[in-house]
Chains A and B, each alone.
Chain A
C-alpha cells in the first residue's frame, strides 16, 4: 500500500514508529523515515499508525485533499457556476506533486469537465523527498515512491510527452510530438530539474550524477550500493547535505565541497550554517567550504576518478554527485508571452500568471517549484520556493481559483515551510530565513543540536528554524504571521535569561541578471515590455 507522510505537518511524535515499527522508523529523535510502499502484510499495522498520528499526517493509498477542511465541512465549493465547472476544459502541464494535487482538488471541488495532465516523465506522479533519503539509503526502491493514486481522479493522463509550447491566443498546448491540446484554463506546474555540471564533457563522465528524478535516484543508489572508494558531493545545499548524510549512514567516505562558508548558508544563513558544518564533521564528513570544484577528471574509459579543487587539492572518488540546485522548466514557455525566465513563471498571489507586460492573465495559472509569486508578508517580494509544502498549498489555491470568479478567489498566503532529514536530525523551517538581518537561539542548545533559532528583520520576526524541536514551530509560525517583534521579549521555557541576537549572515538576494526587459512605445496603450533573452 502506498504511504505518504505530510512531513510539513509531522511533529515527530513517533506514534507511527511504535505501532508499525517495520514501516516507520525514527532516525534519531524526530527524523521520520518510512516505507513509501508498505508490504500488504503490514496493512493492519499501518492502519493503526495512521489512525494514531496526533496530527493526522499519514495518508494511505489516497491523499486526502485538505483534510483539515473536512472537519466541519469547510471545503467550500465556489458558489457561482458559469457552466465552466461542468463542461470546461482544463489542462495541467507537469504531472508531479503540484500537478497531481491540483487535479485532485479540481475534482474534489466539483469540476466535471475534461481534465488532461501532460507530463514528460514516463511514471505516474511520484514523491521526490524520499529520493535523497529512503531511496538512497536502500530502504525503498526508487520506483516505489509513487504518490497516492492519481488514477482515482478521472483525468486523461499523457505520460512521457513534453509540452513544447503554449499558444495563449489559440488556447492550445503544443506537444513535442506535434499534437495540440486545447484548453479553457491551463495550469503550469513544470517544476524544476537538477542543474547539470557546467562542463558537458565532464558531466558525461561515468559516475557523475545529478539527483532529481526516479532514474537519477536509482542510478545513484546503484553506485552507492557498489560501495565506491569515496563519494564527492558538489554543493552543500539540502540535497547535497542529505546525500552526504546517507553516505555516512552507509559508512561510505564522503567529501563535500561547498563554495560558500558553510552548508545550507543559502537557505539558513551563516550562523545556522556553522551548526550544520559541525554536524557534518561530527558524522565524519570531509567538508571543504570556501572551495570550488574546478574540474572533474576521468580515466581512459571515461570513468570519473578525481576532482580538482580551487585550493589546488585533488579529491579521488568514484562517484560525484552534482547538487548545485535547480533550473526551472520554463523553456517551453519561451514564446508564450508570459513572464517566464530563469526566475520561474511570475504570477500573482492568486496563482494567475503574469505576462511580460506585467498584466495578470485570467486563464493561465502557475503552481509549485516553477511559480514565482509575491508574498505580502515579505514586503511583497517575489519568491520561488522549492518546498514540498509550498507545491501542495499553492496547487490547492491554484485549483480553487481556476474554478472561482474574482470575488471568490483565494490568495496564496501560507508561510513557506520546509523540512529536511539529515544526520539523524530533523531540520524544519517556517518563514523565509534569508529575509533577516539577525538571528537568535531562542530555545535549547546548539551543542546538542536541539534548538529553535529565530530570524528577524528590522525588529520583526520573519522566520524560525528548528533542529529536532518541530513541536515549537507552529507557535512561531503564528507569531510571524502576526508580525511579532524580534527578538521576542517574553519569558519561555528552555530559554536563556537574555537573548543575544547576532548578525544573520544571510546571502545577498541574488537577482537574475541573464534576462533583461525592455520597455517600448510612448502612448500608454502602446507601451509594451519585451524580454531580451541572453545566451546562457
Chain B
C-alpha cells in the first residue's frame, strides 16, 4: 500500500489523540492539493484570507462535478451552508432574538442560570470519586442551555440526541466517503427538521420568549422566516449548540489536568479563566476543520491555484498553531494576550453562538477548578469520538478525593 499522505493520516482515527505534529507537517505546504481534489489550507494567514474572500462559497452546490453525477446534499442545515445575501438575511433574522443589536442582554442575562445549572450538575456527582466529565457535566450542560434557549423540551433529549450526533459525525473533511456520510446525514436532518418544525408550529399558538417563538413569529424589514427556514435554523442551532461546547469543556478539563498547577491558579485569579478559554480555543479547539467551502473562481494563494469548483478544507486547528502567526504555538499559555485564534472561524460565518459558548466554558471550568478536590486523569489520552473535524473525547474519566460544597 502506498504510504498515506499527511492529510490521510490526520483523518485516520489512530491520530485523533494528537494530530498536532501532523499539522506542523501539513503547514509546510500551507495550501496543499489532496488526492481526492480537496485543497487543504493550514497556514493562519491563508485561512484568514480565504474566510474573508468573497470568491469562496459555503454552498456545496457550487462544487464542480463530473457531468452526469448526482447533485450532492447541501451540507449542514441552515444558513451555515448558504452565501450572502441569503445567509446575511437569515443570520440577521436569527440574531434578532439572540444578541445585539436587538437583544444585547440576552446572553449576559443567562449567566446566573448557567451557574446554577453547572452547580447542580456538579452537586449530582458530589458523592462519587470517579466522574466522566463528558457524560456528567460537559455534555448535559450545553444541551440543557440550548434547549432552554430554543424552547425545546429537555425530556426529548433521547430523541434529538441521536439525530444531532448523526449530523455532527457526518461533517468533516475528505471527499472519498462523503456521499455515504451525506446520505446518513440527510435522514437525520429530515427527522430533526420535522421535529423542530412541529414544535415551532405549536409555539406559534402559544408564544414564549424562546428562540423558536421568536423565529416563527417575527416579521420586519427583512420579512419573516418561512416555516421551513425556522425548522432548519432551529436544527442548526440545536446541533451547533450541542456538539461543540461539550468538546471545549472536555478539552479544557483535560488540559487543566495535564497542567495541574493551573487549577490552583484558576481558583486564585478569577480573571484568568477568560484568557484560558481563549487559549483553549487556540490550543485544543473543538472545531479542527471547516470543510464546507468551495472556490467560485480560480484563486491564487500561497503559490498555488485553487481551481474553480474545488472543495476547500480549512484546518483551523493547524492555523491557530502557525508559528508565523503566534509565538510559542505549541505551548499552552493560560494568560496569553492578544490571542487571535481561529477557534470560532472568521468572516461572515464567524460562530453565531460564540458568546454563549465562551460564557459556558468560562463558568464550567472555573466551577470545576473550584470544586473538584485533587482531580486526576484516569486514562491519558482518553478515547476520542470518531470525527476529525469536530474533535473531542468520547469520555473523560477522572478521579477526585471529593467535591467541595457550593457556598450557599
B100 within 8 A of A: yes
Contact of B99 among A18, A52, A64, A492 (CB under 8 A): A18
Which residues of the other chain, B, contact A28 by a CB distance below 8 angstroms?
Answer: 101
Of the stretches B52-60, B127-135, B381-389, the one at the interface is B52-60
A494 within 8 A of B: yes
B12 within 8 A of A: no
Give the CA-CA distance A72 to B327 in the complex, in Å.
Answer: 5
Does A71 contact B350, Cβ atoms closer than 8 Å?
no
B73 within 8 A of A: no
Q: Which residues, 50 to 76 on B, are CB-close (under 8 Å) to A?
A: 52-57
Give the CA-CA distance A67 to B362 in the complex, in Å.
Answer: 25
Most chain A C-beta atoms within 10 Å of own C-beta, residue among B52, B57, B278, B297: B52
Of the stretches A238-246, A367-375, A470-478, the one at the interface is A470-478
Q: Which residues, 27 to 49 on B, are CB-close (under 8 Å) to A?
A: 49
Does B327 contact A73, Cβ atoms closer than 8 Å?
yes
| A52-B358, A491-B297, A492-B296 known; A17-B100 Cβ under 8 A | yes
Does A72 contact B99, Cβ atoms closer than 8 Å?
no
Which residues of the other chain, A, contact B100 by a CB distance below 8 angstroms?
Answer: 14, 17-18, 21, 25-26
Give the CA-CA distance A21 to B359 in the complex, in Å.
Answer: 14
Give the CA-CA distance A188 to B66 in the complex, in Å.
Answer: 64
Of the stretches A176-184, A314-322, A443-451, the one at the interface is A443-451
B199 within 8 A of A: no
Closest B residue by C-beta to A45: B108
A19 within 8 A of B: yes
| Total contacting residues, chain A, CB less than 8 A | 42
Q: How far is the CB of B205 from chain A (nearest CB, A)?
A: 31
Closest A residue by C-beta to B325: A71
Closest A residue by C-beta to B296: A491
Q: How far is the CB of B272 from chain A (nearest CB, A)?
A: 10
B188 within 8 A of A: no
* Pair count A-B, CB < 8 A: 115
Q: Is the interface of B mostly helix, strand, loop or mixed?
A: loop
Q: Which residues, 339 to 354 on B, are CB-close (under 8 Å) to A?
A: 339-340, 344, 346-348, 350, 354
Q: How far is the CB of A447 from chain B (nearest CB, A)?
A: 11
Q: Which residues, 317 to 361 on B, are CB-close (under 8 Å) to A?
A: 323-327, 338-340, 344, 346-348, 350, 354-355, 358-359
Does A443 contact B275, Cβ atoms closer than 8 Å?
no
Which residues of the other chain, B, contact A52 by a CB distance below 8 angstroms?
Answer: 278, 354-355, 358
| A21-B105, A490-B55 known; A54-B297 Cβ under 8 A | no
Closest A residue by C-beta to B51: A471
Which residues of the other chain, B, contact A13 by a CB distance below 8 angstroms?
Answer: 350
Q: Mark interface residues in B74-94 (1 if CB within 8 Å of A CB, else 0).
A: 000000000111001000100
| A27-B101, A52-B358, A491-B55 known; A444-B340 Cβ under 8 A | no
Does A55 contact B340, Cβ atoms closer than 8 Å?
yes
Give the CA-CA distance A56 to B107 in the complex, in Å.
Answer: 21
Does A21 contact B104, Cβ atoms closer than 8 Å?
yes
Which residues of the other chain, A, contact B108 by a CB distance below 8 angstroms?
Answer: 18-19, 21, 45
Most chain A C-beta atoms within 10 Å of own C-beta, residue among B296, B308, B338, B340: B338
Which residues of the other chain, A, contact B83 by a CB distance below 8 angstroms?
Answer: 493-494
Does A72 contact B323, Cβ atoms closer than 8 Å?
yes
Which residues of the other chain, B, contact A387 by a CB distance below 8 angstroms?
Answer: none
Give the CA-CA distance A18 to B111 in the complex, in Å.
Answer: 12
Give the CA-CA distance A70 to B359 in the complex, in Å.
Answer: 27
Does B54 contact A493, Cβ atoms closer than 8 Å?
yes
B274 within 8 A of A: yes
Q: Which residues, 354 to 376 on B, are CB-close (under 8 Å) to A?
A: 354-355, 358-359, 362
Contact of A19 among B101, B344, B347, B355 (CB under 8 A): B355
Most chain A C-beta atoms within 10 Å of own C-beta, residue among B54, B105, B340, B355: B54
Does A494 contact B54, Cβ atoms closer than 8 Å?
yes
Interface residues on B, range: 35 or more
Give the CA-CA distance A472 to B345 in the complex, in Å.
Answer: 15
Q: Mark interface residues in A5-20 (1 if CB within 8 Å of B CB, else 0).
A: 0000000011101110
Which residues of the other chain, A, contact B308 by a CB distance below 8 angstroms?
Answer: 491
Give the CA-CA distance A490 to B362 in the complex, in Å.
Answer: 43
Q: How far is the CB of A196 from chain B (nearest CB, A)?
A: 37
Q: How far is the CB of B265 from chain A (nearest CB, A)?
A: 16
Most chain B C-beta atoms within 10 Å of own C-beta, residue among A51, A64, A474, A478: A51
Contact of A471 among B52, B107, B344, B358 (CB under 8 A): B52
Does B338 contact A54, Cβ atoms closer than 8 Å?
no
Does B326 contact A72, Cβ atoms closer than 8 Å?
yes
Which residues of the other chain, A, contact B350 by a CB distance below 8 angstroms?
Answer: 13, 54
B8 within 8 A of A: no
Which residues of the other chain, A, contact B157 by a CB distance below 8 angstroms?
Answer: none
Does A56 contact B338, Cβ atoms closer than 8 Å?
yes
Does B101 contact A29, Cβ atoms closer than 8 Å?
yes
Does A48 contact B358, Cβ atoms closer than 8 Å?
yes
Does B101 contact A471, Cβ atoms closer than 8 Å?
no
Does A14 contact B55, Cβ atoms closer than 8 Å?
no
Q: How far is the CB of A22 from chain B (nearest CB, A)?
A: 8
Closest A residue by C-beta to B50: A475
Does B354 contact A15, Cβ atoms closer than 8 Å?
yes
Q: Which residues, 268 to 282 on B, are CB-close (under 8 Å) to A?
A: 270-271, 274-275, 278
Q: How far is the CB of A460 from chain B (nearest CB, A)?
A: 18
Closest B residue by C-beta to A72: B327
Contact of A71 among B49, B84, B275, B338 (CB under 8 A): B338
A409 within 8 A of B: no
Does A26 contact B101, Cβ atoms closer than 8 Å?
yes
Give the CA-CA distance A400 to B326 in the complex, in Å.
Answer: 23
Does A471 contact B104, Cβ atoms closer than 8 Å?
no
Which residues of the other chain, A, contact B297 by a CB distance below 8 angstroms?
Answer: 490-492
Q: In the complex, given contacts A490-B297, A493-B57, A494-B54, what are 16 additional A-B residue pairs having Cβ atoms less than 8 angstroms apart?
A: A15-B355, A17-B99, A17-B100, A17-B101, A17-B104, A18-B355, A25-B100, A44-B271, A67-B338, A71-B340, A72-B326, A443-B54, A444-B84, A490-B296, A491-B55, A493-B56
Please list 21 pairs of residues, one from A and one from B, whose beta carbons are closer than 8 Å in the complex, sorted by A's number: A15-B355, A18-B100, A18-B104, A18-B355, A19-B107, A21-B100, A27-B101, A45-B108, A48-B358, A52-B358, A54-B340, A54-B344, A54-B350, A71-B325, A472-B54, A474-B52, A475-B49, A475-B54, A492-B55, A493-B83, A494-B88
The 6 A-B residue pairs with the shortest CB-CB distance, nearest first, are A18-B355, A494-B84, A492-B54, A17-B100, A493-B83, A21-B104
Residues of A whose CB lies within 8 Å of any CB of B are 13-15, 17-19, 21, 25-29, 44-45, 47-48, 51-52, 54-56, 64, 67, 70-73, 443-445, 450, 471-472, 474-475, 478, 490-495
